[in-house]
Chains A and B, each alone.
Chain A
Amino acid sequence: MTDKNGFFDLSKSTLSRRTVLKGLAAGAGLAMAPGFVRYSQAQSSAPIKIGFQSHRTGIGAAYGRWYEKTSAAAVKAINDAGGISGRPVELVIEDDGTDPARGAEVVAKFAKQHKTDIVFGTLFSHVVIGSAPAAGENKIPYFVVSEGHHVASTKLNRYVFQPGITDVKSQIQSMAPWIAANAGKKVTQIFPDFAFGYDHRDYLPPALKAQGADVIAQIAIPPTESSFTKYFPQIPAETEVIYHVMVGPAVLTFVKELGEFYGSNRPQLFGFMDSLEATDINSPGLEFLDGSHFWEGSPRYAQADDSAAQKAYRAAVGIDDNGAAVGDPKDVSTASHMFGCWETLYVVKKAMEDAGYKGPEDRAKLVEATEALTEFAEGPEHPQGAKTFNGKIHQCFGIQNISKVEGGKLKVVHKTKIEDGLYEAEGDYTTQAL
């Protein structure tokens, strides 16, 4: 708060009172904290504190729980291997209620009260966008695992990064070649009438056009809707592929009613796993999805050709071959997204070590060191696959999986290339002052 003095010309008496109060507080603190001296001498081995902004409650709670599990596993793995620059890592968790206003408060709390080195782990886009100004104002690096395009749009600020999960624009773009070549060239989109749906509405048509396919109808469904049958007659008869990205509890009804509408003679179906994260693919009503295809970030089900790194990652996080918690088959994970927490923490480790990071005074160095990263090799630190990183837009790019529902499981049938998801940068964060 040193900059406060610059605003008001405080009288000497106020200043001296403040000084006295500070002196008293500092003295009392020293007297009551015998460990203080020891701590300052041993600061180089003090833990690196990572503020984890968790969706423990609210709409994102299912994701939040698995994000915590994955992050705890990554921190354990990092600490078992010697920590970051020889210092142990400690997660400090605060619940943001999946609420943007509370999210901003939580970021400020990490920066000013917990005095964490960075903030990490947010998923929901509105919370990221609501919290980003607080991260910029507090000059605390904010590593999100959101998959929103908001970071790469360069509309946030220089302190916000997304190095561990690809963004939705890149994901959609990567899907287009496979859809056009394998599913069909006349596509009807069904999406929720809010921002998540709009990303798909806006990015899919140009991506398909480039592949010689067309979106022939776009059907937006209001978020308050609980029955969908009345929308299905809007699907053109010549539709070859239905591209669906409904999310939330209504997705079960959506699939069931779509099945009743089409019966056994349906067009190809292509969806995003966001619809069914933390939901058992074998839930009653989802039978209609058998034979359809989904985007997956990281495969939910263990695959025959899983790498050793992927196997080790799944074991460390505690998910079985069906993508559910070990010992609780009903506790289905959010596998398509949560790997991003694991990978982001390893990016933080790499950037901190590159920057020679010692404490909050080195946050600007950490930002620059992160921006200097260019690629991450597939391996134990990046089990989902290799990635490139664009330091100007603070966003990584990677491979995507297309999986087919077969016999109640998801089998990966295609992996995209990193190049499939690349696009022109929309700005440059590095021109902003630190």
Chain B
Amino acid sequence: MSEVSPAKAYALHLGVIALLFVLSFVLPDYHHGLLARIMVLAVFAMGYNMLFGYVGLLSLGHAMFFAAGLYGAGLSVIHLGWNVPAAFAAGIACGALLALVIGLLALRTTGVAFMIVTMMFAQVFYLIILYFAVWTGGDQGMVVPQPARVLVLGAASFDLTNPTVRYMMALTLFSIVLLVTLAVVRSRYGRVLVAIRENEERTKMLGYDTFSNKLGAVVLSGTICAASGAAYALLFGYVGSSFASVQYSILPLLWVLLGGGATTLGPLLGTLFMYYVIDITSGYTSAYLLIVGVALILLVLFSPKGILGTIRQRWLGWLP
């Protein structure tokens, strides 16, 4: 990646952001709303990709970071009456803190053990949400009241339930995270992460503290996932324990695998693809998850690097 011209990479990413901006004005209403949701969840996938794609650490517990942001933001509004920016910050802070603690503990393990440990922590987090049902709404979840979902910035106020405002907020978050991800993976730090993925022992021999670098990646990954969760609570108005379940730890893995691990745009592509496959096929058959499963098996068999990973391997070697 070092020989890639920065201008080309940034131009591509800014082009994608511009395309998403333009789509806001031409998409039919339903797809407009769906794309806003997809962008927020693509941020979740980008956070996951930071750890899985670039560091090679396969976590099965990232739902807890998404849920930390979701509940951190949602419960701040519901119980403390905080405003949108404060609640969003609270969600991100919860995710970052949780990621730091989980990272310190889980990074003592590697490989399969890391998968199991992260999955167990996520299960504990899920059960804690159920246990404190008085505060969290348990398995039913809670609605973030519509009147509280207004972002006031100086004299201007933005109603987050307005489809255009919601789309633009989702796009803003997506764009910031995309550009931050691009900057990180192109930085020295990003290259150290890739080096750890490729050969941790050799990276250690070169004098790098791999533990602290990995811990930094876990915190960054967890923070991005929490930002996605916090945005989901505030933009879509619902916090619920199903977002902390194992399903939401598997989903970002599938989105990243589908779009292409260790590609900056793969998470968006994977999330988009999976969402539309489900949306379209569920209109024809109740066995739509079977179709998703078959699509994933075909992908693993014929395109194991995911859509963008394969494109990068075969045609566009400069893709970040």
Which residues of chain A have a CB within 8 Å of any CB of chain B?
Answer: 1, 3-4, 6-8, 10, 14, 18, 21, 56-57, 94-95, 97, 99-102, 104-105, 108-109, 112-113, 125-126, 129-130, 132-134, 136-137, 148, 150, 155-157, 193-195, 198, 223
Contacts and interface: CB of A to CB of B under 8 A. Distances in A.
Interface of B: 24-26, 28-30, 32-34, 37, 130, 133, 137-144, 146, 158, 161-165, 168, 236-238, 240-243, 278-279, 282-283, 286, 288-289
A130 B139 contact: no
Given A95-B286, A112-B33, A129-B140, A195 B28 contact: no
Contacts of A137: 146, 161, 237
B60 to A, nearest CB: 17
B25 A4 contact: yes
A133 B286 contact: no
B168 A8 contact: yes
B280 to A, nearest CB: 11
Contacts of A10: 25
Contact of B146 (A3, A4, A104, A136): A136
Given A56-B286, A99-B242, A101-B243, A198 B133 contact: yes
Majority-rule SS of A interface residues? helix
A363 to B, nearest CB: 15
B236 A104 contact: yes
Given A1-B163, A194-B138, 5 more contacts: A10-B25, A97-B282, A105-B37, A113-B28, A195-B139
B240 A129 contact: yes
A233 to B, nearest CB: 23
Given A4-B164, A113-B28, A195 B146 contact: no
Contacts of A3: 162-164
Nearest to A96: B282
7 contacts: A1-B163, A3-B162, A57-B288, A112-B33, A132-B238, A133-B143, A133-B236
B283 A126 contact: no
Contact of B26 (A18, A97, A100, A195): A18
B22 to A, nearest CB: 8
Contacts of A109: 30, 279
Contact of B158 (A7, A14, A102): A7
Contacts of B162: 3, 7
A1 B165 CA distance: 11
B286 A57 contact: yes
A3 B32 CA distance: 13
A126 B146 contact: no
Contacts of B34: 105, 108
Please list the 6 inter-chain residue pairs (A to B) with the smallest Cβ-Cβ separation, ordered nearest first: A133-B237, A4-B164, A112-B30, A113-B30, A112-B29, A195-B140
A157 B289 contact: no
B141 A193 contact: no
Given A108-B30, A112-B28, A112-B33, A129 B143 contact: yes
A132 B29 contact: no
Contacts of B243: 101
Contacts of A136: 146, 161
Contact of B141 (A1, A8, A100): A100
Contacts of B238: 100-101, 104, 129-130, 132-133
Given A3-B164, A108-B33, A133-B146, A100 B133 contact: no
A126 B163 contact: no
Nearest to B139: A194
A309 to B, nearest CB: 32
B164 A8 contact: yes
Contacts of B163: 1, 3-4
Nearest to A22: B26
A129 B141 contact: yes
A125 B240 CA distance: 11
Interface centre among A10, A57, A105 (most CB of B within 10 A): A105
Nearest to B286: A56
Nearest to A5: B164
Given A133-B237, A195-B133, A198-B133, A4 B24 contact: yes
B154 to A, nearest CB: 16
Contacts of B286: 56-57, 95
A109 B276 CA distance: 13
A57 B25 CA distance: 34
A1 B140 CA distance: 31
